[in-house]
Amino acid sequence: MARASGEYKRLEEFLELLSRHEGYASGQFLAKKAGISRSAVWKQIRRLRQCGYAIESLHGMGYRLASSTTYPVPWELAKAMRTAIVGRGRMVYRDNADSTQTIAIALAEKHTDAAGAVVIAEQQSGGRGRMKRRWLSPRGGVWLSVVLKPGIPTATSTLLPFVAALAVCDAVRETTGLSAALKWPNDVMIKGKKVAGILLDLSAEAETVNYAVIGIGINANVDTSKIKIDREGRPEITSLKEELGKDIDRLRLTATLLEKLEQFYLVLEKGGPAKIVAEWRRRSDMLGKKVSVVQQGRAEEGVAQDINDDGSLLLKTASGTVSIVSGDIHVSY
Ligand code: BTN
């Protein structure tokens, strides 16, 4: 069985002890078996509950694992995922982080073997979005960052957010059945409303990439009233919970997402940009539509013709066709 890294080893062993026990396990029994004090047993129980495990306790009887978690905790992800790179090295899980992106960048800077590291937080107090915007990240979302050290030229790294958007789109479709679609540059949409966004932080030389940190935010089990501020002139937002009318299993969604991220990443490394752009086109419903692109407060109207192999948008305007490298796009559906 695959195990998550050192930090969580004791908790995972304690969990195994609890789950193997039939009926209630007394605090004394658990303490003896785990080789820890009674108060350490209580701390482990509290931590497991905080991680989403339902643990019943009965006075004089002890504890019983009633059901497992649906939270994206590293030790469960390690068991659920079939990946070779992503999530196979360091996995960091925080109940509360400033930004998973900041933690992942620090890991990438510090460790030469950080490729594949994943940082996940239940909530972020300083979540970052594109264009220096805030990204509100209350409990219930999927907020994570992945460190990659890709063997691709720097010029191709503009497609890494496309790789992530493809992975999110397919993971959402597969685990919820919702018809997610892609909007340039990297938004994942459901019925024209944004459900997820991607952020790329890159450290690169002229020719080679030192590391890339891909940040992914999915409004999963989020009450949209908690994330609806500061959005003037921005796309409408939704959450998976709002679309489905119920909570989803974030563990399954995250495991599927990380698997797909690795698959599309390998497509980019081995197959090149054209293959990723072709996959992107297949999942987007905006090509051929009238759009307005806002760049530094200036709007340009036109028809979204295509995506170039570097990820830029080909926009047909009244005065000719132009390539747009970054911006916000509004689609007239
Ligand atoms: C966007 O503006 O559309 C991109 C949003 C990216 C948000 C994610 S949440 C996990 C990671 N940590 C951050 O601080 N931001 C990214």
If one compares 131 and 261, the residue with the highest pLDDT of the two is 261
- DSSP, collapsed to helix, strand or coil, labels residue 151 as coil
* Rg of the chain, C-alpha, whole Å: 22
- Whether the predicted pLDDT of 244 surpasses 60: yes
Which of 292, 290, 299, 324 has the alpha carbon at shortest distance from 310?
324
Phi, psi values for residue 81, rounded to 5°: -95, 145
Burial environment of residue 233 by CB neighbours within 10 A (0 to 12, 13 to 18, 19 or more): exposed
Q: What percent of the chain has pLDDT over 90?
A: 88
Q: Are 137 and 123 a contacting pair, CB within 8 Å? A: yes
Cα(76) to centroid(ligand 1), Å: 23
pLDDT at 215: 98
Q: Which residues line ligand 1 (CB under 6 A)?
A: 99-101, 124, 127-130, 133, 135, 137, 143-145, 197-199, 215-217
Task: Reply yes or no: is the peptide bond before residue 74 cis, omega within 30 of 0.
Answer: no
Q: What is the pLDDT of residue 295?
A: 85
**Rounded-to-integer distance, Cα 127 and Cα 140, Å:** 14
The pLDDT of residue 5: 52
Cross-strand bridge partners of residue 291: 302, 331
Flag the least confident range among 7-21, 166-180, 223-237, 303-317.
Answer: 223-237
Q: Is the peptide bond before 72 cis (omega within 30 degrees of 0)?
A: no
Distance 216 CA to ligand 1 centre (A): 5
Residue whose pair of structure tokens reads 């939270």 in the numeric block: 71
CB 72 within 8 A of CB 120: yes
pLDDT score of 276 = 97
Residues 6+ apart with CB under 8 A from 270: none
The beta-strand segments (E) located in 72-177 are 91-97, 118-124, 142-148
pLDDT of residue 3: 43
Is residue 175 within 8 Å of 221, Cβ to Cβ?
A: no
* Residue 228 confidence class, pLDDT cut points 50, 70, 90: confident
- Least confidently predicted of 64-68, 228-232, 328-332: 228-232
- pLDDT: which is higher, 1 or 30: 30
Q: What pLDDT score was predicted for residue 2?
A: 42
Among 104, 81, 99, CA closest to 254: 81
Q: What are phi and psi of 220, to 5 degrees?
A: -90, -95
Each residue of 206-221: b (16+ CB within 10 Å) or e?
A: eeebebbbbbbbbbbb
Average pLDDT of the residues in 32-61: 96
Distance CA 289, CA 34 (A): 61
| Distance, CA of 151 to CA of 133 (rounded, Å) | 30
Ligand 1 pocket mutation, candidates 216, 230, 258, criterion most atoms within 8 A of CB: 216
- Residue of the nearest CA to atom 11 in ligand 1? 215
How many C-beta atoms surround the C-beta of residue 285 within 10 A? 14
For residue 142, CA distances in Å to 12, 65, 73, 187, 245 come to 22, 25, 11, 15, 17
State the pLDDT at residue 284. 95
- How much is the pTM? 0.95
In the predicted model, what is the mean pLDDT of residues 204-220?
95
Q: For the chain, give the mean pLDDT.
A: 94
Q: Is the pLDDT of residue 220 over 70?
A: yes
The answer to whether 275 and 263 are in contact (CB under 8 A) is no
The pick from 131, 135, 200 for probing ligand 1's pocket by mutation, whose C-beta has the most ligand atoms within 8 angstroms, reads 135
Distance in Å, CA 157 to ligand 1 centroid: 18
